[in-house]
Structure 1
């Protein structure tokens, strides 16, 4: 998956949606950044009754109540609510215990017989433990996270009715979690969201439920995917860089940023937007009403902006902000959490296991299937 091929970015051009409907593909860095930042390109109209189908199967990403799919005042209310919960004081408190979770998992890995599956022992339990601690989830819920994630990010291989039933179950869980925290608030992220939502006012309950569910599955699935894919690349293709990650924490942070920038979460090639007015992008006029696919993967490889790649620039700071977390009003508020987890995980794993190596050839690795995010199903390592 880390070897997905991308075309050279170029001017905006006509494209097609899965149902054959017309769209525009935008792929150069400046053009993609413009589309993601310009309020004339929105998300909400993509879910109007007359809008073409963006995807073939139901999933959580295309729930109109999701914060990512709101625009204008509705989006700002939800975003302010989340921002109130992600205060700088809270972030500072979380960093030390994230490091503690990493160390505990590494202690467990050290006691495993070799070869050991680093997915089962580290890349999956780390983000699950972090999001569970953040949200105050108990062990019984943790066992359901993978089940919910597999259906929330289904690639269409699951039966539609099954996906809808699982998402209904997941939404009911989110609603119960909010109700519980209202009655008995604590020092967790959900309690913070409840307090922030009450202070903000005017937020429909369905949008809060979608926000909670999106945080639960998105908060662990993306980090697990990034970490698994990153380890496969580093151990499989850059073993020469491994020891340096353990010696130099700053270098590990730079490498983490490069991996986030260039190793995709999956094969979804466009962040869709709806043009409310005619807009000139890259010398081309995008007509009003058009669906625009902003390809962040191609834009992150724009040679005019990013002359260095993984092969020659692994330890080189990014030349411009990555678009892997989006841009503009919909920029991912959880970006800091993903960075902290990935940086800490890579640095401490390399420090504790400087001789870590793959126990099987790269082309023998099996991949998770059934979801839009892709990473190794298991990754056997030894040391």
Structure 2
């Protein structure tokens, strides 16, 4: 059950991301973005890592006046004031205002509470009876509960949060004006939240962010608003996507791995790393990879890249580079990962929430498999309803039974 990237049309059934046939990694080659803009596509692990770490390739100049268009519509990732689109010392200054909350040591302190949330959600799943939608009841609920606690968003309308997040990552799912309206609402919410925490600070992430920003010269209000929105989206989107796609892979193809994940927490940790590497967050329909722009002439993998060129880092293909990861027809969920995957990026823009996403994924998989060892898909894989037109892809709903 394999197709080439981009072969599936919107009217055709989509297949699970782990079933996509991957391109053979090779030297950078010219391709095109969905809007037709030429792009140099890097696919080898070493080349992709260079694209993500080389200071001659940046994000900010993607939004310079002379830059070619790279988007088919508005979305949160294209905000020039967002952390993702700021480089150099300014980026480091803004990143320092929040990064201490996401170190491995800081995240580990949250483990007991996250375990409690996982248990409560599984209790609710069991109380709902079999079959049940595990997306609504678990894969979305878990990361939303965690980021809501971190940012002290208790009482927020989770449906509204999901609405903003989906529009924030829209590529073609919604009309442009509808996305802009959702973003206006989202940014207004962020601004109101910042004003509230300035007036009544607490122990939450937003209050800590404002305290750090006050002690840091040059952080603008626009950057703070964009950062809060980015934290809300990134705080649950990656985990929801990875957890949903991991369940599709495990429950459809790997019952033995499911049993081992439930029996042993360390096996769950190893499986989480392999699943993050092997199952991409998206296909190539909306974007071929993480984009950068060359600020000087450079060479990538023996290929000359002229200054001003747009370059895409194809993490999907790089994470399966046979020069780095032994090729196999089946995924070995428990093999040691000798080289870190590039799922969370690399270099200055490495995902801040990587350790939080890892912990939620491993705890979620372990406790689900432990409590529900007979969990299975209630419907054929071919009938899964997918979230379409976004920069990520995961099940919109996933009926499971036990």
TM-score (structure 1 length as normaliser): 0.96
Q: What is the root-mean-square deviation of aligned Cα atoms in Å?
A: 1.5
1:216-227 mapped onto 2 (5 Å cutoff): 216-227=232-243
> 1:93 maps to which residue?
109
Q: Does 1:359 pair with 2:378?
A: yes
> 2:191 maps to which residue?
175
- Give deviations 1:94-150, integer Å, cap 9, x for gaps: 221111100110111121221111111111111110111111003233231111011
> 1:293 maps to which residue?
312
- Which of 318, 323, 342 matches 1:304? 323
Whether the 8 Å CA contact 1:254–1:315 is kept in 2: the answer is: yes
Q: Which moved more, 1:308-317 or 1:107-116?
A: 308-317
Q: CA deviation at 1:283?
A: 1.1
Q: CA deviation at 1:84?
A: 3.4
Query: Aligned with 2:396: secondary structure?
Result: coil
Whether the 8 Å CA contact 2:94–2:219 is kept in 1: the answer is: yes
Q: CA deviation at 1:309?
A: 4.9
- Which of 67, 75, 78 matches 1:59? 75
Q: Does 1:137 pair with 2:122?
A: no
- Which of 225, 247, 251 matches 1:209? 225
Whether the 8 Å CA contact 1:368–1:377 is kept in 2: the answer is: yes
> 1:46 maps to which residue?
62
> 1:373 maps to which residue?
392
User: How far apart in 1 are the matches of 2:200 and 2:106?
Assistant: 19
- Give deviations 1:164-198, integer Å, cap 9, x for gaps: 11101100111111111111111111111111111
User: How far apart in 1 are the matches of 2:324 and 2:357?
Assistant: 24
User: How far apart in 1 are the matches of 2:210 and 2:188?
Assistant: 17
Query: Aligned with 1:58: secondary structure?
Result: coil
> 2:353 maps to which residue?
334
> 2:182 maps to which residue?
166
User: How far apart in 2 are the matches of 1:259 and 1:193?
Assistant: 32
Whether the 8 Å CA contact 1:262–1:310 is kept in 2: the answer is: no
Query: Aligned with 2:41: secondary structure?
Result: strand
Whether the 8 Å CA contact 1:367–1:375 is kept in 2: the answer is: yes
More helix by share: 1
Query: Aligned with 2:330: secondary structure?
Result: helix
Whether the 8 Å CA contact 1:19–1:52 is kept in 2: the answer is: no
User: How far apart in 2 are the matches of 1:63 and 1:198?
Assistant: 22
1:150-161 mapped onto 2 (5 Å cutoff): 150-161=166-177
Q: CA deviation at 1:55?
A: 1.2
Whether the 8 Å CA contact 2:234–2:353 is kept in 1: the answer is: no
- The aligned length equals 383
User: How far apart in 2 are the matches of 1:342 and 1:245?
Assistant: 12
TM-score (structure 2 length as normaliser): 0.92
- Which of 81, 90, 94 matches 1:74? 90
Q: Unpaired runs of 5+ in structure 1?
A: none
Query: Aligned with 1:292: secondary structure?
Result: strand
Query: Aligned with 1:293: secondary structure?
Result: strand
Q: CA deviation at 1:5?
A: 2.5
Q: Does 1:346 pair with 2:362?
A: no
User: How far apart in 1 are the matches of 2:69 and 2:136?
Assistant: 36
Q: CA deviation at 1:72?
A: 0.7
> 2:32 maps to which residue?
16
Query: Aligned with 1:148: secondary structure?
Result: helix
Query: Aligned with 1:64: secondary structure?
Result: coil
User: How far apart in 2 are the matches of 1:354 and 1:55?
Assistant: 43
- Which of 110, 120, 123 matches 1:107? 123
- Which of 114, 137, 162 matches 1:121? 137
User: How far apart in 2 are the matches of 1:91 and 1:47?
Assistant: 33
Whether the 8 Å CA contact 1:269–1:295 is kept in 2: the answer is: yes
